Amino acid sequence: MPIELKMPALSPTMEEGTLAKWLVKEGDEVSAGDIMAEIETDKATMEFEAVDEGTIAKILVPEGTDEVKVGTVIAMLAEEGEDAADIEASPQTSKDEPAESQPDDPPPAKTAAANTIAKEDSKPASLRVDPDVPEGTEMAKLTVREALRDAMAEEMRADERVFVMGEEVAEYQGAYKVTQGLLEEFGGRRVIDTPITEYGFAGIGTGAAMAGLRPIVEFMTFNFAMQAIDHIINSAGKTNYMSGGQMRCPIVFRGPNGAASRVGAQHSQNYAPWYAQIPGLVVIAPYSAADAKGLLKSAIRSMDPVVFLENELLYGHSFEVPVLDDYSIPIGSARRVREGADVSIVTYSIGVGIALEAAEKLAGEGIEADIIDLRTLRPLDKAAVLESLKRTNRMVVVEEGWATCSIASEIAAICMEEGFDDLDAPVMRVTNEDVPMPYAANLEKLALVNSDKVVGAAKAVCYR
């Protein structure tokens, strides 16, 4: 039996990739460990190794092909004793006929959250950009990953005091490739690889900020910042107050936050409510690339310590970003990403994509949602929340995280205390299930917030 070589999944979030290069040709013999091809994922170029030995009988997907889905048969391998020339492209190689060659359970390529990131195109054109951007401004399509990198690079060019440090930020180009190219441009003095010692380098960064530098401390993910949380809260967050305003701490702690995909309980958690509770910190959690760029620039310039929460699942998503010399967005202002009169959906980070998807479904049933992306979680733009509530008199809060003591709970409390007269229904929280994140594909999907749950809640508050 010839062996089918399939497009491999090369990272937790990979769904498709580019078959960049074949390093073997038909008729070549390969043995286990030989590199057969180079495959580009959104993060990196990876080598595709042979696991069996045999002869390459047929190459089915030529090099240079983009968007090859994980699991597509890309070549056939003849085993010892088979004649490579006899092997035909097997019938089930077409992409739309997964039948026999696929395992019974389709591979869980996407999580619910990844699934629900709305296509940027589905947003009404008028709402794609920040209202503050002058009309007619040229736009460029950038991924969130590129936007973050550009923000850091621009600020590093503008201010010699800004430097980046963290695990794998320099030579490896960032564990999630957010700092790609920075080492080359700014050198090892300003782009610094640290050992795996979060508590240590968060402390060093905080001390450097107290001494007047502008550190950007990258955590590989915020799960690992738990080791460093003492410096973030006790050292960075409280210094200005305790010193009677003498000692500033202009530092940015940034990195991916929230659930990624299938990485289990210790690596899937949203820390936004943890940090947002601390007076003395600024907490930002953007959704779009434009917001990521504009807000990160403001964060780096801020004289206060900023916790900047990114989302791994959004890194590869592209958005329109204004091409301006200096595009920054004020900290502390929410953004209306969709206008509607029937129900408010307040959310942030990856929740915005889920809310947009829900809004599409709701629109199909005649319910128009007003979506508010909080963007900054501390200080919170209460006015925007209350203004939206005034318009719709109904509110759902969407958060990829647990409900208990959440941002969603905070929004509900604000509506109770300051918007009570505008409420026609109780505020509903739509969040993840109240369990540690399970690994199994089906359970993870059940645990995560999704647009159907949002639709259900929105209809409930509309009494429909």
Partner 1 sequence: MLLIRRFEEKAGQLYGLGLIGGFCHLYIGQEAVAVGLQSALDGDKDKVITGYRDHGHMLAYGLDPKVIMAELTGRAAGIAQGKGGSMHMFSVEKGFYGGHGIVGAQVPLGAGLAFAQKYNDDGGVTLAYFGDGAANQGQVYEAFNMAELWKLPIIFVIENNQYAMGTSVNRSSAEDQLYRRGESFRIPGLQVNGMDVLEVRGAATVALDWVRAGKGPILLELKTYRYRGHSMSDPAKYRSREEVQSVREKSDPIEGVKKDLEAAGISEDEMKAIDKEIKAIIGEAADFAESSPEPDPDELYTDVLVEQY
Q: Is 437 in the site for ligand TPP (CB under 6 A)?
A: no
Looking at residues 287 to 346 of the shown chain, list those that interact with partner 1 (rule: CB under 8 A): none
Residue 432 sits at the vertex; the CA angle it makes with 431 and 434, to the nearest 5 degrees, is 110
Q: Rounded to an integer, what distance in angstroms lies between the CA atom of residue 458 and that of residue 435? A: 23
Instruction: Say how many residues touch partner 1, by CB under 8 A.
Output: 61
Read off the DSSP letter of residue 231: I
Q: Is 199 in the site for ligand TPP (CB under 6 A)?
A: no
- Of these partners, partner 1, ligand TPP, none, which one is at the site of residue 24 (CB under 5 to 8 Å by kind)? none
Q: Rounded to an integer, what distance in angstroms lies between the CA atom of residue 459 and that of residue 462? A: 5
Question: Which token pair is 126?
Answer: 């008028």
Question: Which token pair is 187?
Answer: 């050198």
Q: Is 98 in the site for partner 1 (CB under 8 A)?
A: no
Question: Which token pair is 206?
Answer: 């905080």
- Of these partners, partner 1, ligand TPP, none, which one is at the site of residue 241 (CB under 5 to 8 Å by kind)? none
Query: By CB under 8 A, which span of 4-12, 288-296, 352-360, 412-420 interacts with partner 1?
Result: 4-12
Member of 90, 227, 277, 318 binding ligand TPP (CB under 6 A): 227
Give min distance, CB of 149 to ligand TPP, in A: 20
Member of 89, 109, 423, 460 binding partner 1 (CB under 8 A): 109
- Is 198 assigned a catalytic role? yes
Member of 18, 28, 29, 51 binding partner 1 (CB under 8 A): 51
Distances, alpha carbon 258 to alpha carbons 114, 153, 233, in Å = 12, 25, 19
248 by Cβ neighbours in 10 Å (0-12 / 13-18 / 19+) ranks as middle
Residue 426 sits at the vertex; the CA angle it makes with 422 and 427, to the nearest 5 degrees, is 85
User: Do 170 and 193 form a contact (C-beta atoms < 8 A)?
Assistant: yes
Looking at residues 249 to 288 of the shown chain, list those that interact with partner 1 (rule: CB under 8 A): 260-267
Q: Residues 155-194: x/- map of binding to partner 1 (CB under 8 A)? A: ------------xx--xx--x-----------------xx
Cβ distance to ligand TPP smaller for residue 224 or 452? 224
Which residues does 461 contact at the CB level (< 8 Å), separation at least 6? 343, 394, 395, 396, 424, 425, 426, 427, 428
Of 198, 320, 399, 444, which one is the catalytic site residue? 198
- Is 231 assigned a catalytic role? no
Q: Three-state secondary structure along 310-353? A: ECHHHCCCEEEEECCCCCCCCCCCCEEEECCCCEEEEECCCHHH
The partner residues of 254 in beta bridges, in order of sequence, read 218, 308
Member of 146, 154, 155, 198 binding ligand TPP (CB under 6 A): 198
Give min distance, CB of 239 to partner 1, in A: 21
Read off the DSSP letter of residue 233: I
Q: Residues 432-451: x/- map of binding to partner 1 (CB under 8 A)? A: -xxxx-xxxxxx--xx----
Member of 207, 224, 391, 445 binding ligand TPP (CB under 6 A): 224
Among all residues, which ones are annotated catalytic? 198, 267
Binding site for ligand TPP (CB under 6 A): 167, 196, 198, 220, 224, 227
Binding site for partner 1 (CB under 8 A): 6, 8-12, 14, 32, 35, 41, 43-47, 51, 70-71, 103-105, 107-109, 167-168, 171-172, 175, 193-200, 223-224, 226-227, 260-267, 433-436, 438-443, 446-447
